[in-house]
Amino acid sequence: MNNFDFHVPTDIRFGKGQIECLPEELSKYGKKVLLTYGGGSIKKTGIYDRVMELLKDFEVYELSGIEPNPKITSVREGVAICKDKGIDVILAVGGGSTIDASKHISCGAFYPGDPWDLVKDRSLVKKALPLAVVLTICATGSEMNSGAVISNEETKEKLEINTPLLYPKLSICDPKYLYTLPARQSAAGAVDIMSHVMEQYFQPNDEAYITDVLSEGVMKTVVKYALKTINEPDNYEARSNMMWASTVALNHLLTVGKGGAWSVHPIEHVVSAFYDITHGVGLAILTPAWMKYVLNENTKLRFARFAREVFGVEDVDDMEAAKQGIEEVKYFFKSLGMPQTLSEAGVDSKQFDKMAAEAVRTSGLSKRSYVKLEEDDVKNIFELCK
Ligand code: NZQ
Ligand code: ZN
């Protein structure tokens, strides 16, 4: 097992009604709050009204309209408000997009130049405003991790800043807030959770048995409950299990003792940077193709273990079990209503070359991933998804 440090400073408040702690918790940081949110779902669901009631004694400024696959333009807007109004704390109400933009704003507020510089050179991040979160969609794990993924439409880049300064101080996770999610967002979120665990499970070093067993438990949870959240949107048991699965999947617990670069995410990030598709949709299409592409005599044991432990595949032949596992993943994503091909998601083959080059350039794909991938390999994976 590799050496590791594990320190996650986010205070999680999980369950019904936990939002009531907001006034007390936010007042630890000051009175001036920047409330950030997306395209308006929080107004339809009533969460906005509840937050405003709770913050009646605070000075609240708003940044709305943060887009899925959040753009650097929204970050710039938020940074300007923080600097202009002397904001004390940011409250992000929403999903990964709102949280990620808010993380970027929190450090942009202390940087004198353009916040995009911080994506290019993380050493420029010296300080960040405190960030609190009210989570309304479970998918990214951003509520308890230190990453923020931001897109730049001009340069067609979608890149991550990751530094311990970006952990939220507080995340309120009330599974009832997930009841209003459209089926497609619940499904895309489930795929994202599954993919996060798989990225950490399929790594060059496979000696961290305890981490692998925990990972299998989280993946089994997703397989057990994802469809239920779509068929019964207000099933509390299903929503609460999925919500905690999303947090655990990417709060670093499932990567301890392991190591290496991720495989499918860097490829998907390029696709969503070029075509602005939903992150989980891109992962649902690319993951089975990646699995098929990297399955070989060296990798078959791990794939067979995955198939047996997560999907209950019984075949005694490792290669056969591994192949059945890939079919199970494909079928699982399809059962959630996810598209199976890039063309169904509106992605044509015109940019395969450029996207493959960008995926390799901006990641550890060719150096540190489970099976090292060069540009041609990524192109071949795209071809399998056409
Ligand atoms: O914008 P609004 O109107 O709020 O609607 C949102 C949005 O359209 C809607 N929604 C959210 N909660 C809802 C709701 N609709 C009804 N009821 C609710 N309770 O759902 C849509 C998607 O929201 P978004 O925040 O974009 O989803 P998600 O949490 O999946 O975030 C995706 C972004 O996070 C990045 C992705 O690449 C993508 O940009 N990621 C962030 C990571 C991280 N920080 O660790 C890791 C991930 O791998 C990922 O890359
Ligand atoms: Zn993801």
pLDDT tens-digit map of 58-116: 999 999 999 999 999 999 999 999 999 999 999 999 999 999 999 999 999 999 999 99
Whether 5 is covered by a domain: the verdict is no
Residues 220 and 172 in one domain: no
For the Cβ of 97 lying below 6 angstroms from any atom of ligand 1, the answer is yes
Ligand 1 pocket check for 45: Cβ under 6 Å: yes
Average pLDDT over residues 201-220: 93
**192 and 84 together in one domain:** no
Cα–Cα distance measured from residue 244 to residue 260, given in angstroms and rounded to the nearest whole number = 25
Please state the rounded mean pLDDT for residues 350-359: 97
Shared-domain flag, residues 216 and 157 = no
Q: Quote the pLDDT of residue 216.
A: 98
Question: In this structure, are 53 and 161 located in the same domain?
Answer: yes
If you search the block for the tokens 């709770």, which residue do you land on? 54
Considering the domain architecture, whether residues 90 and 172 belong to the same structural domain is answered as yes
Q: Which of 93, 106, 134, 140 to mutate to test the pocket of ligand 1 (most atoms within 8 A of CB)?
A: 140
**Residue 241 shares a structural domain with residue 120:** no
Which pair of structure tokens corresponds to residue 383? 């071809």
Residue 175, ligand 1, Cβ within 6 A: no
Map tokens 């097992």 to a residue. Answer: 1
Interval 254-270 mean pLDDT: 95
Q: Give the relative orientation of helices 264-275 and 183-201 as an angle to the nearest 10 degrees.
A: 140
pLDDT confidence band for 259 (50 / 70 / 90): confident
3-state secondary structure at position 59: strand
pLDDT at 121 over 90: yes
With a 6 Å cutoff on the Cβ, whether 177 touches ligand 1 is yes
Kindly indicate the confidence band of residue 313, based on its pLDDT and cuts at 50, 70 and 90.
Answer: very high
Taking the CA of residue 225 as centre, how many other CA atoms within 13 Å lie in the half-sphere pointing to its CB?
27
Residues 171 and 188 in one domain: no
Mean pLDDT of 219-224: 98
Is residue 311, in this structure, part of any structural domain at all?
yes
Q: What is the DSSP annotation of 278-302?
A: -HHHHHHHHHHHHHHHH-STTTHHH
**19, 279, 338: which to mutate for ligand 1, most atoms within 8 A of CB?**
279
C-alpha pair distances (Å), 32 with each of 57, 130, 294: 10, 12, 51
In whole angstroms, what is the distance from residue 351 CA to residue 372 CA?
A: 22
- The parent domain of residue 324 ranges over 183-384
What separation in Å is there between the alpha carbon of 4 and the centre of ligand 2? 22
Distance CA 113, CA 386 (A): 41
Residue 68 beta carbon below 6 angstroms from any ligand 1 atom: yes
Whether residue 98 has its Cβ less than 6 Å from ligand 1: yes
Give residues with Cβ within 8 angstroms of 183, minimum separation 6: 230, 233, 337
- Give kind and range of the element (H or E) at residue 341: none
- In terms of domains, do 267 and 203 share one? yes
% of residues, the chain, pLDDT over 70: 100
Query: Which residue's CA is the nearest one to ligand 1's atom 39?
Result: 69
Structure confidence at residue 116 (pLDDT): 98
* Identity at 336, one-letter amino acid code: L
Q: Categorize the per-residue pLDDT at 136 as very low, low, confident or very high, splitting at 50, 70 and 90.
A: very high
Of 177, 202, 219, the one marking the end of a domain is 177
Does residue 284 form part of some domain? yes
Q: How far is the CA of 242 from the centre of ligand 2 (A)?
A: 15
pLDDT of residue 204: 86
Q: Residues with beta carbon < 5 A to ion ligand 2? A: 192
CA-nearest residue for atom 9, ligand 1, is 41
Same domain, 164 and 204: no
Residue 206 predicted with pLDDT over 90? no
In the predicted model, what is the mean pLDDT of residues 355-369? 96
Which ligand 1 atom is at minimum distance from the Cα of 195?
A: 48
What is the separation, in whole angstroms, between the first and last Cα of the chain? 38
pLDDT bucket at 133, cuts 50 / 70 / 90: very high
Residue 282 lies in a domain: yes
Report, as an integer, the average pLDDT of 302-325: 98
Name the band, by pLDDT with cuts 50, 70 and 90, for residue 130: very high
- Least distant ligand from the CA of 277: 1
Any domain includes 371? yes
**Does one domain contain both 65 and 101?**
yes
Helix axes 352-361, 264-275, angle to 10 degrees: 130
Beta sheet of 11-14, edge-to-edge order: 11-14, 170-173, 131-135, 89-94, 32-36, 59-63
Rounded to the nearest 5 degrees, what angle is found at the Cα of 258, between the Cα atoms of 257 and 263? Answer: 160
Is the minimum distance from the CB of 162 to ligand 1 under 6 angstroms? no
Tokens 């996207």 correspond to: 355
Q: Ligand 1, from 8, 41, 265: best to mutate by most atoms within 8 Å of Cβ?
A: 41
Number of domains composing the chain = 2
Backbone dihedral angles phi then psi of residue 384, each to the nearest 5 degrees: -65, -20
